[in-house]
């Protein structure tokens, strides 16, 4: 997850699915209202009770409503362009509980052409690759997380060359 631009990129590619967003995004002036009105689920990692409630909402959306959920496994924007940050447990716990696969999505590095903090938004091609699903196994959420990371890192290494 590289920048706030990832949200509309993902929303354009995966319309109609349920987005799990960081709770503070709901406070954004325009996009926050849009995300809230579109059925997004706010995940507040800083308050464990709220985080658990959001994951329960996600589980319901998957099992009862048959929605797909998309999350940024890192839980926050990466600090080093083109490199994955530490994965959070939520997506992998959710996949393990529901038995649904993780479908890794890798977006090519946006920097240096696009850098919101530097106020630089240069038109350039963005490559989004949807990797094959990774199904949860008896090995648990840690093994699932490790396998997803391995596949995503392999593709990012190609993007960096």
Answer whether 0.85 is exceeded by the pTM.
no
- pLDDT value at position 12? 54
Residue pLDDT tens, the chain, 161 long: 445 555 555 555 555 566 666 777 777 777 777 777 767 777 777 888 988 888 898 888 888 888 777 777 665 555 666 678 888 888 899 899 999 999 888 877 665 565 666 666 667 677 788 899 999 999 899 999 999 999 999 988 887 77
First to last CA, the chain: 19
- Which regions of the chain does DSSP assign to beta strands (E)? 18-22, 41-43, 69-70, 105-107, 114-115, 120-121, 128-130
Angle at 102 between CA 12 and CA 144, to 5 degrees: 150
């Amino acid at each position: 997850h590289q920048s706030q631009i990832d949200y509309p990129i993902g929303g354009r590619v995966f319309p109609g699915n349920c987005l799990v967003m960081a709770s503070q995004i709901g406070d954004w002036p325009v996009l926050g209202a849009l995300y809230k009105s579109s059925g997004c689920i706010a995940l507040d990692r800083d308050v464990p009770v709220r985080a658990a409630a959001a994951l329960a909402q996600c589980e319901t959306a998957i099992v009862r409503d048959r929605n797909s959920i998309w999350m940024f496994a890192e839980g926050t924007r990466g600090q080093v362009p083109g490199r994955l940050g530490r994965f959070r447990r939520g997506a992998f716990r959710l996949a393990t509980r529901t038995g649904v696969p993780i479908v890794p999505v890798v977006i090519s590095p946006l920097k240096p052409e696009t850098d919101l903090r530097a106020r630089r938004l240069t038109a350039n091609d963005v490559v989004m690759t949807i990797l094959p699903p990774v199904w949860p196994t008896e090995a648990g959420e840690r093994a699932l997380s490790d396998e997803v990371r391995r596949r995503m890192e392999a593709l990012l290494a190609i993007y960096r060359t």
